Chain A
Amino acid sequence: MSNQHLNNEDHNNHEGNDQHKQTFISKYVFSMDHKMIAKQFLITGIIMGCLGVLMSMVFRLQLAFPDTPFPFMENFMGHWAKDGRLDPSFYLALITIHGTIMVFYVLTAGLSGTFSNLLIPLQIGARDMASPLFNMLSYWFFLLSSLVLVSSLFVDGGPASSGWTIYPPLSALPTAISGSGMGMTLWLIAIILFVVSSLLGGVNYIATVINMRTLGMKMTRLPLTVWSFLLTAILGLLSFPVLLGAGLLLIFDRSFGTSFYLSDIPADLAGGIERVGGSPILFQHLFWFLGHPEVYIIILPALGITSEVLATNARKPIFGYRAMIGSMIAIAVLSFVVWGHHMFVTGMNPFLGSVFVLGTLIIAVPSAVKTFNYLATLWKGNLRLTPAMLFAIGLVSFFISGGLTGLFLGNAALDINLHDTYFVVAHFHIVMGSAAIFGMMSGIYHWYPKMFGRMMNSTLGYLHFWITFIAAYCVFFPMHFMGLAGVPRRYYAITAYDQFDVFVNMNVFITIAALIGGAAQLIFLFNFFYSIRKGKKAEQNPWESNTLEWTTPVERIHGNWPGEIPHVYRWPYDYSKPGALTDFIPQNIPDEGQTDPLEETKPPVHA
């Protein structure tokens, strides 16, 4: 047996472009086509996103008008909103599930699940993923996980309520608060299913990018999107298992009476078993070992999409291609050694704290490299302000304004004051929430023609962008001031403290902005679903882009290319190349006289 034999099998097992008969079930439901799985991820992510956004609307109403009843809420929330007044314990449940949904279900699975699946095979020139079966299973575990999480909304005691970070003891003792019972158990089951889904997806993405690139697609010719998906998959693969380990111990604490995370809890408070000897800090360490890479799992794909969309629509090569790859690798590596900056107030040794401060602040360097490269890409570009381009620029804006507040929070001395205030809420909703959502939106508008063969309406896209962009800043920017004044996060109401009375009007302002921003998403939803059937038919390469996905036919056939897979002769950013006849040269076009795909193309000819 030779390795070569296996090698060929790899590249051939999806060849042949077999147009075998597909039933409705095998085409739309249990599909193994990466493009269909991407759409399944996207639509599930959008549905979960709607749920998460609606929850935020409910608790924003509560925060702005703590004394006003909203009788309509009783219609769909029942006893959680008796007489239209939100139940305080349900408020905690709402913020917990809002966080969980947005972080894991929308911005992890919805974002990288969608675009890794769609773009990795198309952009590297492969017929499908390395293992289409694993890919399908990855989606079904994700869907199952989503259903378990949603079902936890309906159980006795309500869903998990100890915040999306589920710190013990609230999460470890089933009798601690109302959401600590069945709701918390379902949360843990949902997350374990999610980890399985992420593992199946991750091994697939990595194996596909490493093994299945078409001839000529060197690692230094990969579009930055693919680099970002590769690094995201590696991060997920190494950090989610730690959450799995942490969750396993937590399940034993909850259900089998162990005390890994509990100490000094008398028997009558903990199901008749005295809990001694454990430490809740252990859980925080394990959780944040996942939790910090997780924020890069969220933002890296968004940054990759932005790189691609900015270069295409600025009609310029991305500035500093290799620096972009280097800074993404640096961010990925550093993300594993800075988790302690979430735990500065746990009584950590100040020396250890200073090590985490150092690591955290160093991340600002590659992040700044990326930001300046984006700006340099835009500089003197021939900008085509498509909706996708606007969302990508929006991401850059959020990445800057949210990233700067990261410098405050990464510094232990400042963080001890700002910890658990609205400053933190403002920071991560801008840099991780809004920025990643904008990256995702940018990706949806840009690759919609590839997914559905039709274009989304641009006018509605502009409307969606401007309202969302302004609303997001109006919602999250004022929160910095509240946080600096000490307003704590996760409080049901802040009316009990006289010194916070000055923020009453600000809270109303934020809520109105949030409602407007939330309503703007209806424009997007309408545009998205309307265009699937009624949108303008897409051309093959509507954005005049260089990457391989635009060389596939609009019909999106199984196997991606009708004939042979194209070879790649150049990097993906030959836009406006001096001396070239057109302002873009797709990756599969050789230079004059270039026969070997591994050869480098001629340098630009400056007049």
Chain B
Amino acid sequence: MSDTTSITSDPAKEPVEQKALWGGGRSPFTISYGKFMMWIFLLSDTFTFSALLIGYGFTRHSFEGNTVTPWPTPDQVFNHFPFLHGMHLPLIFVSVMTFILMFSSVTMGFAVEAGHRMAKKEVSFYMLLTILGGIGFLGCMAWEWAQFINGTEAGKMLADGSVFHGANLHLNEYGPTAFADLFFIVTGFHGVHVLSGIIINSTIYINVLKGTYEKRGHYEMVEKVGLYWHFVDLVWVFVFTFFYLI
């Protein structure tokens, strides 16, 4: 503990009264400003996703009772699985995807825990698994998107007699335009978060290998990116619920 500190006593050693916690000279939540800022940022990002999901709810609600272009049932749209062509397997693939992402959250948790014990080897092992999980999820998402964009053989008959397969931002065979639009933008926005998570995790992974945090004396950076990664997973739970289950 440095001499210039404005803390008169060492709060880690003596129990702090609740009053003194907010009395200044220390962090009331006993966390560093960096971790605190990550929490605040995640709160803010929650509102961005909320805006998009509320937009989704608003739009979908306006199609209630619409018999001309009804909102499609997810079971009928997302029923494909790689190499199992032609079989009706509703939501199986997206469950695999979700499992991969959730599992990467578990390994992230292990990495953070290993960081508390300053176990460099374990941290790097679990970080690697987390990154692979993220890449796996994005790969699945790419397949899912490709399937969605290419569409089925049946397609949809257009007004001019031609048949349209799959989906783009203007037209899709599954239902209203807004269905595909929202699917692309919300899962896409989540995918961008996963991608940036992978990039951040990889940077941290390299630093772990280089021993940066061992020199620093703590693995707090792993904890911070862990928060972000768990958040991205949590968001997926909501995206998954709204687009696939409801």
Contact = CB atoms under 8 A, between A and B. Distances in A.
Contact of B51 (A134, A202, A286): A286
Given A2-B12, A245-B52, A598-B20, A282 B59 contact: yes
B72 interface: no
B8 interface: yes
B186 to A, nearest CB: 10
A260 interface: yes
Interface string B134-150: 00000000000000000
A258 B181 contact: yes
B1 A260 contact: no
A130 interface: yes
B42 to A, nearest CB: 10
Given A241-B44, A273-B170, A130 B62 contact: no
A132 to B, nearest CB: 11
Given A249-B185, A282-B59, A258 B25 contact: no
A1 B189 contact: no
Nearest to A16: B4
Nearest to B116: A1
Interface in B174-228: 176-178, 181-182, 185, 189, 217-220
Nearest to A236: B44
B6 A564 contact: yes
Interface in B15-50: 19-20, 22-37, 40-41, 43-50
A252 B5 contact: no
B23 A203 contact: no
B242 interface: no
B2 interface: yes
A259 B177 CA distance: 8
Interface in A199-217: 199, 202-204, 206-208, 210-217
Interface residues of A, number: 70
Interface residues of B, number: 64
Contacts of A246: 51, 55
B41 A199 contact: yes
Given A244-B48, A245-B52, A218 B181 contact: no
B219 A1 contact: yes
Chain A at the B interface: mostly helix, strand, loop or mixed? helix
A12 B2 contact: yes
Contacts of B40: 202-203, 206-207, 237
B6 A11 contact: yes
Most B Cβ at <10 Å: residue of A16, A256, A273, A277:
A277
A549 to B, nearest CB: 16
A296 interface: no
B58 A282 contact: yes
Contacts of B182: 260
A568 B24 contact: yes
Contact of B23 (A3, A216, A242, A289): A216
Contacts of B4: 12, 15-16, 564
B58 A279 contact: yes
B69 interface: yes
A258 B169 contact: yes
Contact of A215 (B8, B47, B58): B8
Interface in A255-307: 256-260, 273-274, 276-279, 282, 285-286, 289
Nearest to B69: A277
A7 B24 CA distance: 12
B91 interface: no
Contacts of B176: 276-277
A199 B10 CA distance: 33
A238 interface: yes
Interface string A430-458: 00000000000000000000000000000
B169 A256 contact: yes
A276 B62 CA distance: 12
B7 interface: yes
Nearest to A130: B33
A276 B175 CA distance: 12
A594 B38 CA distance: 38
Contact of A260 (B13, B45, B116, B181): B181
Interface in A216-252: 216-219, 221, 237-242, 244-246, 248-249, 252
Nearest to A289: B51
B178 A5 contact: no
A513 B95 CA distance: 67
Contacts of B25: 11, 213-217, 567
Identify which of B32, B43, B219 gathers the most chain A CB atoms within 10 Å of its CB: B32
Interface in B61-76: 62-63, 69
B129 interface: no
A248 B52 contact: yes
Nearest to A290: B51
Contacts of B27: 7, 10, 210-211
B239 interface: no
**Nearest 9 Cβ contacts at the A-B interface:** A245-B51, A4-B12, A215-B25, A217-B24, A213-B24, A241-B48, A130-B33, A1-B218, A6-B32
Interface of B: 1-2, 4-8, 10-13, 19-20, 22-37, 40-41, 43-52, 54-55, 58-59, 62-63, 69, 115-116, 118, 169-170, 176-178, 181-182, 185, 189, 217-220
9 contacts: A4-B13, A6-B32, A7-B30, A207-B36, A207-B37, A217-B25, A242-B51, A245-B50, A282-B59
Given A6-B32, A240-B44, 9 more contacts: A4-B30, A7-B27, A10-B27, A202-B44, A203-B44, A216-B23, A237-B40, A258-B177, A274-B170
